[in-house]
């Protein structure tokens, strides 16, 4: 048997599929596909399947990964083909291969954040937002409960990739992973508040990349 | 066009997966002007509607037609409804987020009376005129099917028509007629006249009702030529040669029945006198083992579900249950698919069967003796003996089960205090049976018995249809008496709300005068009445008062055998004479044999199929 890392995208309405529902979706997809996988031992056997970094609800993703243990005798191409035939339309497998990194090595993620606004937002205003010393927000975690943090501490880099009448678009890299993680929603909410009275109608947020060991010298994409 | 607004709403509501669609096997057709469209609506929230087998059958079947687009619609939960109303988003279909009011047909399935307010609410949210008389040529036709369609007079002024019986063929015939009518330029009435010729179609506006001074019905008759006095239901005679969907939609979120449901047969041979399903689905028609195994295999392959259940009214009455379970186990065990067997009857339960179903996963056992004493079980024709229950319980305990659920009804006709207290006594006997087994033979150390009671709702098309329902205070007094009598802490007692049962009875037996009450109740905010978080008894009473209608007239009045009943428009095949005989036999405490033991001549044989000709 061998553990394969499946890289997939979750787009469109798929962004509202919760983590638990996604797990169930993959389990059923595997059954439909006829691919032979490894089941856990015990009273209630289940497929061995691990997602590296759950995607927040309402956010699309282009580089999501799940590790699945397959029985021997199947090629990566076959896995990819059979999964894509059997996955719902909003989830597409992009590649299948050996897992390189461990999920614990994840340190950062890049998001594209597209804001739809009723009027023009000036570049200056966005710069001013990121230029603040502190933007406080309440984070909820299972371990620590509610804590107030400076979310700008979590932002590693940002840039404006587009700005127009109907809104603007940002590329941000923020802390991600088990140790330090920032949900892009917190950043979006803080921007909504900061830009008032300009009304942001909504955000389209997409996780573009996940990184390991990210610092000034080394940028490596999670694979 | 509503996609963007809808998406923003989804960020603010609970369980957004209820509204996203795009599930595996959902059908997305291209909207072209030559196609007809049906919005198939389930008047409850997604996870309830997606558990309903009938909807799956008709959705896939209608989409088999190249000229028809069928899309699903569910009732948005309250949080979503508020968002939609605030953002002025009308009710939309799942597949293409099209406004429901733009469909040619709006079909609702009527599974239980407490969903009627949701139908009105969904029409309101869709922006469709609430009364059939207010709809114009370009408006959609609103129709309903499902078990309640046999007695849906409260909806008579709201729907354009009702379809009685099994819809596999009928729904397609409606589309055939629509296709011709659509471009004909003829008025709505012409379409209704045309479909009224189809067996099973009831058009309420083609009938006039007059009433006596005491409120009972004086006359009920067609108001134009060529319309039958009674509408006969439709059935599928050959269950192997009918449309069975296999590429079922696989939801993302967990639904109430989140599994493959294999329909072994329709109908029930038993004839329990309280059970409407036991009469309206007659005669019993089985599928063959070969067909079922083929459907099961294809469904497993097409869905990837981890569980399969055998869904029928009394599954263990399937004549070839053992070969079927063997065949099903052969295809499920290796794939780690659970096979579950609901609706077991205690009289033919066996160790062997129990072992089969628990091969993959063991769960609790549920039995429904329905009444606490043999006398009352005879009255209701629930042919379960106490010995059977005890024997079964012992087998189950030896097999390792130690959680048993028992279901009963309170408020059955002829019920006395002894019958009520008998429920607690029966539960105690089950516990005693556990301790009678030598310790080394029973696997569990302790035993727990859950007793659940619901309040009896006399239903149309049963021998008890003329019976009054117990008054709310009486029902509650009975539940309290039972509760006080149970002292053993190994017995857990639950009972259901009696206000809801009262309203269920009113709408089960109501006539068309209740239509305006429904519309008013929706305006007052009534919806999701089957959900305790939403059910508001006082609002309902206010709605009745506004229209000067006494709901007790429908629920608490003993009806006469000669009375014209609001549901006399429907001919379910079982004759009124037979129901009267059964009603009288009940009072004599006489039981009636099952259809396989003896034919009692109920009338269902006229359909020319099923158990009547076995």
Q: What is the 3-state secondary structure (H, E, C) of B107-172?
A: EEECCCHHHHHHHHHHHHHHCCCCCHHHCCCCCCEEEEECHHHHHCHHHCCCCCEEECECHHHHHH
Is B4 in the A-facing interface, judged by CB distances under 8 Å?
yes
Which residue in the set A44, A58, A88 is minimally distant from B24, CB to CB?
A: A88
Label residue B442 exposed, middle or buried (CB < 10 Å: 0-12, 13-18, 19+). buried
Both tokens assigned to B414: 């002829």
Decide: B356 and B399 in contact? Cβ < 8 Å: no
Q: What is the pTM of this model?
A: 0.93
Contact A13 B22 (CB under 8 A): yes
State the Cα–Cα distance between residues B571 and B602, nearest whole angstrom. 12
Contact residues, chain A, for B23 at CB < 8 Å: 88
If you measure CA to CA, which chain A residue comes closest to B305?
Answer: A28
Give the integer Cα–Cα distance in Å for B98 and B29: 12
> Inter-chain contact B22–A14, Cβ cutoff 8 Å?
yes
| Structure token pair of residue B384 | 């379960």
Under a CB-based contact definition with an 8 Å cutoff, are residues B538 and B521 in contact? no
Name the minimum distance, in Å, from the CA of A89 to any CA of chain B.
7
Of A21, A44, A86, the CB nearest to B252: A21
How far does B251 lie from chain A, in Å, by closest CA?
8
**Chain A interface includes B27 (CB < 8 A):** no
pLDDT of residue B345: 54
Of the residues B14, B15, B21, B22, the best mutation for testing chain A's interface (the one with the most A CB atoms within 10 Å of its CB) is: B22
Of the residues B24, B249, B302, the best mutation for testing chain A's interface (the one with the most A CB atoms within 10 Å of its CB) is B24
Q: Report the residue of chain B nearest A20, measured CA to CA.
A: B253
CA angle A212, A218, A220 (to 5 degrees): 40
Please name the member of A29, A44, A58 whose beta carbon is closest to the beta carbon of B11.
Answer: A58
Laid out side by side, the sheet with B260-263 consists of B260-263, B307-311, B338-340
- Contact of B92 with chain A, judged by CB distance below 8 Å, is answered with no
Q: Smallest Cβ distance to B7: which of A25, A34, A202? A: A202
Interface confidence (ipTM) of the complex: 0.89
Test A57 with B335 for CB contact under 8 angstroms: no
Q: What is the pLDDT of residue A46?
A: 84
What residues have CB less than 8 Å from B406, skipping those under 6 apart? B366, B367, B368, B369, B423, B426, B427, B430, B449, B450, B451, B452
Nearest-Cα distance to chain A for B519, in Å, is 34
User: B110: which residues sit within 8 A by CB, 6+ positions away?
Assistant: B43, B116, B119, B144, B145, B146, B147, B148, B149, B152, B155
pLDDT at B352 over 80: no
By CB atoms closer than 10 A (0-12, 13-18, 19+), residue B25 is middle
- Partners of residue B14 in chain A, C-beta under 8 Å: none
Taking an 8 Å cut-off on Cβ atoms, the answer to whether B301 and A30 are in contact is no
Distances (CA, A) of B156 to B150, B196, B226, B449: 11, 15, 20, 44
Query: What residues of chain A have any CB closer than 8 angstroms to a CB in chain B?
Result: 12-14, 16-18, 21-22, 24-25, 27-34, 39, 43-45, 57-58, 86-90, 116, 201-202
Residue whose entry in the numeric block shows the structure tokens 């000067």 = B548
Q: Do B252 and A88 touch (CB under 8 A)?
A: yes
Q: Which residues pair with A10 in a beta bridge?
A: A61, A91
Q: Inform me whether the pLDDT recorded for B214 exceeds 90.
A: yes
pLDDT for B360: 44
Number of H helices, E strands in chain A: 4, 11
What's the pLDDT at A140? 79
Question: Going along A98-154, which residue ranges are E strands?
Answer: 106-117, 136-141, 145-150
Per-residue pLDDT tens over the stretch B87-123: 999 999 999 999 999 999 999 999 999 999 999 999 9
Q: Using CA coordinates, name the residue in chain A closest to B4.
A: A202
User: Which residues of chain A lie closer than 8 angstroms to B335, CB-CB?
Assistant: 31
Q: Which residues of A touch B336 (CB under 8 A)?
A: 39, 45
pLDDT tens digits for B55-91?
Answer: 999 999 999 999 999 999 999 999 999 999 999 999 9
Model pLDDT, residue B403: 85
Residue B338's H or E segment, with its range, is: strand B338-340
Task: Tell me which chain B residues have a C-beta less than 8 angstroms from the C-beta of A116.
Answer: 4
Q: How far is A26 from chain B (nearest CA, A)?
A: 10
* The two structure tokens encoding residue A184: 């892009």
Cβ of residue B336 closer than 8 Å to a chain A Cβ: yes
What is the distance between the alpha carbons of residues B246 and B56, in angstroms, rounded to a whole number? 10
Q: Which of A160-169, B22-31, B463-472 has the lowest mean pLDDT?
A: A160-169
Average pLDDT, chain B: 93
Instruction: Report the first-to-last Cα separation within chain B, whole angstroms.
Output: 56
pLDDT-based confidence at residue B248 (cuts at 50, 70, 90): very high
Contacts of B363 in chain A (CB under 8 A): none
pLDDT confidence of residue A217? 54
**Any chain A CB within 8 A of the CB of B96?**
no
* pLDDT of residue B344 exceeding 80: no
For B299, the closest chain A residue by CA position comes to A32
Stated as kind and residue range, the H or E segment containing A187 is: helix A184-195
Average pLDDT over residues B427-448: 86
Q: Cβ–Cβ of A86/B304 closer than 8 Å? A: yes
Could you say which of A57, A88, A201 has the minimum Cβ distance to residue B23?
Answer: A88
Residue A90 with chain B: CB contacts under 8 Å: 22
What average pLDDT score do residues B454-470 get?
97
pLDDT for the residue B316:
83
d(CA B273, CA B256): 28
> Among residues of chain B, what percentage have pLDDT more than 70?
96
Task: Judge contact between A2 and A69, C-beta under 8 A.
Answer: yes
Cβ of residue B20 closer than 8 Å to a chain A Cβ: yes
Q: What domains lie within chain A, and their CATH numbers? A: 2-99 (3.30.70.580), 104-221 (3.30.70.3190)
Extract the tokens encoding B151. 């007695």
Query: A97-132: b or e for each residue (b if 16 or more CB lie within 10 Å)?
Result: eebebebeebbbbbbbbbbebeeebeeeebeebbee
Which residues of chain B make contact with A45, given a CB cutoff of 8 A? 336
Give the chain B residue nearest A44 (alpha carbons).
Answer: B361
Q: For residue range B178-200, list pLDDT tens digits in order.
A: 999 999 999 999 999 999 999 99
Measured CA to CA in angstroms, residue A186 lies from A59, A158, B273, B471 at distances of: 12, 15, 60, 55
- For residue A108, give how far its alpha carbon lies from the nearest alpha carbon of chain B (Å): 24
Most confident residue range from B276-280, B318-322, B337-341: B276-280
* Residue-by-residue DSSP string for B404-467: EEEEEEES-TT--HHHHHHHHHHHHHHHHHHHHS-GGG---SS-EEEEEEEE----TTSTTTTS
Domains of chain B: 3-165+167-232 (no CATH), 237-358 (3.30.750.210)
Instruction: Give contacts of B7 with chain A, Cβ < 8 Å.
Output: 202
Whether residue B20 and residue A17 make contact (CB cut-off 8 A), yes or no, is: yes
Question: Residue A30: its chain B contacts at CB < 8 A?
Answer: 304
Q: Do A58 and B4 touch (CB under 8 A)?
A: no
| Closest B-chain CA to A56 | B11
**Whether the Cβ atoms of residue A17 and residue A10 lie closer than 8 Å to each other:** yes
Between the alpha carbon of residue B345 and those of residues A96, B199, B341, the distances in Å are: 50, 35, 11
Q: Among residues 273-292 of chain B, which lie with CB inside 8 Å of chain A?
A: none
Q: Could you please report the per-residue DSSP string of B486-512?
A: ---TTEEEEE--HHHHHHHHHHHS--G
Q: Do A16 and B16 touch (CB under 8 A)?
A: yes
State yes or no: pLDDT of B359 exceeds 80: no
pLDDT band of residue B363 (cuts 50, 70, 90) is low
> Given its phi and psi angles, is residue B14 left (phi above 0), alpha (psi -120 to 50 degrees) or beta?
beta
pLDDT < 50: residue spans in chain A: none
- What whole-number distance in Å separates Cα of residue B98 and Cα of residue B1? 8
CB contact under 8 A, B306 and A58: no
């Amino acid at each position: 048997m061998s553990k394969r890392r499946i890289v997939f995208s979750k787009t469109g309405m798929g962004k509202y599929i919760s983590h638990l529902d996604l797990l169930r979706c993959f389990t059923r997809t595997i059954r439909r596909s006829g691919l032979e996988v490894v089941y856990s031992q015990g009273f209630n056997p289940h497929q061995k399947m691990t997602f590296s970094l759950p995607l927040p609800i309402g956010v699309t993703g282009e580089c999501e990964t799940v590790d699945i243990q397959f029985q021997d005798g199947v090629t990566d191409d076959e896995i990819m083909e059979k999964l894509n035939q059997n996955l719902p339309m909003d989830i597409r497998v992009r590649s299948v291969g050996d897992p390189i990194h461990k999920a614990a090595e994840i340190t950062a993620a890049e998001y594209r954040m597209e804001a739809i606004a009723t009027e023009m937002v000036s570049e200056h205003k966005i710069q001013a937002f990121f230029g603040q010393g502190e933007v406080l927000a309440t984070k909820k975690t299972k371990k620590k409960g509610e804590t107030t943090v400076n979310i700008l501490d979590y932002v590693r880099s940002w840039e404006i990739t587009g700005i127009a009448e109907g809104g603007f678009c940002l590329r941000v890299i923020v802390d991600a992973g088990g140790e330090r993680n920032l949900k892009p929603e917190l950043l979006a909410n803080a921007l909504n508040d900061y830009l008032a009275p300009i009304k942001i109608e909504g955000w389209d947020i997409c996780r573009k990349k996940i990184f390991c060991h990210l610092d000034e010298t080394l940028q490596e994409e999670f694979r | 066009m509503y996609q963007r607004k809808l998406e923003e709403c989804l960020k603010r509501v609970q369980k957004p997966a209820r509204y996203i669609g795009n599930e595996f096997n959902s059908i997305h057709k291209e909207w072209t002007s030559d196609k007809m469209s049906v919005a198939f609506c389930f008047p409850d929230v997604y996870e309830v509607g997606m558990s309903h087998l009938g909807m799956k059958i008709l959705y896939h079947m209608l989409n088999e037609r190249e000229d028809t687009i069928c899309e699903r619609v569910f009732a948005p939960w309250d949080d979503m409804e508020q968002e939609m109303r605030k953002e002025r988003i009308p009710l939309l279909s799942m597949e293409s987020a099209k406004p429901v009011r733009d469909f040619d047909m709006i079909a609702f399935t009527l599974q239980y009376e407490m969903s009627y307010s949701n139908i009105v609410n969904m029409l309101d949210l869709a922006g469709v005129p609430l009364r059939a008389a207010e709809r114009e040529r370009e408006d959609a036709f609103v129709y309903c099917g499902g078990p309640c369609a046999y007695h849906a007079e409260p909806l008579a002024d709201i729907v354009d028509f009702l379809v009685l019986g099994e819809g596999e063929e009928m729904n397609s015939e409606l589309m055939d007629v629509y296709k011709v009518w659509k471009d004909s330029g003829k008025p709505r009435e012409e379409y209704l006249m045309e479909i009224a010729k189809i067996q099973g179609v009831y058009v309420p506006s083609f009938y006039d009702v007059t009433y006596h001074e005491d409120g009972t019905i004086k006359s009920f008759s067609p108001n134009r030529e060529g319309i039958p006095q009674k509408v006969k239901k439709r059935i599928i005679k050959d269950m192997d040669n009918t449309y069975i969907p296999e590429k079922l939609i696989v939801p993302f979120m967990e639904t109430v029945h989140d599994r493959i449901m294999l329909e072994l047969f329709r109908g029930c041979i038993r004839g329990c006198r309280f059970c409407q399903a036991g009469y309206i689905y007659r005669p019993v028609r089985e599928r063959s083992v070969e067909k079922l195994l083929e459907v099961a295999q294809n469904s497993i392959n097409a869905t990837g579900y981890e569980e399969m259940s055998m869904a029928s009214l009394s599954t263990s009455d399937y004549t070839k249950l053992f070969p079927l379970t063997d065949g099903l186990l052969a295809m499920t065990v290796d794939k780690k698919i659970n096979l579950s067997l609901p609706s077991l009857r205690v009289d033919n339960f066996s160790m062997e069967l129990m072992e089969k179903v628990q091969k993959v996963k063991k769960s609790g056992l549920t039995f429904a003796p329905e009444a606490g004493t043999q006398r009352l079980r005879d009255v209701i024709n629930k042919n379960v003996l106490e010995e059977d229950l005890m024997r079964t319980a012992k087998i189950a305990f030896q097999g390792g089960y130690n959680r048993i659920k028992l279901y009963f009804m309170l408020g059955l006709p002829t019920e006395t205090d002894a019958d009520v207290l008998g429920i607690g006594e029966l539960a105690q006997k089950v516990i005693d049976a556990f301790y009678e087994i030598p310790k080394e033979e029973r696997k569990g150390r302790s035993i727990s018995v859950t007793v659940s009671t619901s309040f009896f709702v006399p239903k149309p098309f049963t021998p008890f249809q003329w019976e009054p329902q117990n008054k709310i205070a009486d029902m509650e007094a009975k539940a309290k008496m039972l509760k006080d009598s149970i002292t053993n802490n190994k017995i857990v007692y639950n009972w259901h709300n009696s206000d809801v049962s009262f309203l269920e009875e009113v709408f089960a037996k109501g006539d068309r005068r209740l239509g305006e009450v429904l519309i008013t109740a929706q305006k007052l905010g009534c919806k999701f009445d089957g959900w305790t978080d939403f059910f508001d008894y006082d609002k309902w009473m206010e709605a009745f008062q506004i229209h000067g209608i006494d709901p007790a007239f429908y629920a608490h009045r003993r009806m006469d055998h000669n009375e014209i009943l609001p549901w006399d428009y429907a001919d379910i095949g079982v004759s009124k004479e037979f129901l009267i005989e059964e009603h009288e036999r009940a009072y004599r405490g006489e039981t009636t044999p099952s259809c396989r033991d003896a034919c009692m001549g109920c009338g269902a044989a006229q359909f020319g199929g099923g158990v009547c000709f076995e």
